[in-house]
Structure 1
Amino acid sequence: MELSSTLVGLAALALFILPIVYLQGIQKRKEKKLLGEFLQLSQEKGLNLTYSEVWNYVYCMGLDTQTKQLIHFKKRGELPEIQVIDLKPFKQCTVNKLGRTVKTTDGAVKVIEKLQLVLTPSNSHNKPETIEFYNAEESNSITTELPLIAKWEKQISHALQA
């Protein structure tokens, strides 16, 4: 009787765990494919990336510290949106959180609708450059974006000072 209970328990556990493992495998392959496409595109643009990152299976970003070039890649559908930004004309990088305040029973809560990096130019006649990290219209929740944007703000700021 104990053996059959153990086997039923193991079978139930396997039925619960196997789909999760399978989905994680699919997501890893999707992320690896996106990163490969991004790195190939970066090489075609003549960039030798010192840092690169993939998040949400949609966004990629890389930094070439030697040439002070930043590449941002967003792939929704078949055609990617690509930004290659020369960092030399910029003096500062800051995080911009766009959102709204929602009243709840526990009080007011700020909901982030967009998360972006803003590059401020040295010359006030030029306009700032924005880099999207999160958009609530396209993604249902923020997961890793807040620590990731802070990390990239530091890396870009360091590159601007060098």
Structure 2
Amino acid sequence: MTEVSARAMSAEEFDRWQDELAAGYAQEHVAAGNWTPEEALDRARQESAAFLPEGMATPGMLFLLGVLADGSPVGRLWIGLTHPRGLAGCAFLYDIEVAAGHRGRGLGRALLAAGERAAREHGAQALELNVFGANETARKLYETSGYRVVTQQMRKDLS
């Protein structure tokens, strides 16, 4: 497996990531049937602003860029050191994304491992995440990386 390390994002990298994160998150919610396409981008931006009231300076958040040994960026991670439901010792992975040009080469697993190391270095004893049910690639990555289902939401359309 290719080694990926993680470093803090710069302010410019953070701003660019916020725009891309909102667009991707909006798209996932539309695909899941949670939001309409018309409202999705605004809702995604509102949710992000609620989680990050101080932007990049929001306490307890890690905004990391995954890099190869030569310094080439390959992806991004957003980890909250305080779990949203208050689980002691458990950090939360809000976002992980391998850059489009680097996908399909096993770097997702290496990026995830770099995020796990960063969380551990900040005192976390566990790392939890959510994954959309339709994202089979991500679900397989997490399962084969040792993650297990601890809660699950299910839906049936009644139309």
* TM-score (normalised: structure 1): 0.28
Q: Considering Cα pairs closer than 8 Å and 6+ residues apart, tell me whether 1 or 2 has the greater RCO.
A: 2
Instruction: Answer 1 or 2: which has greater strand percent.
Output: 1
Instruction: Answer 1 or 2: which has greater helix percent.
Output: 2
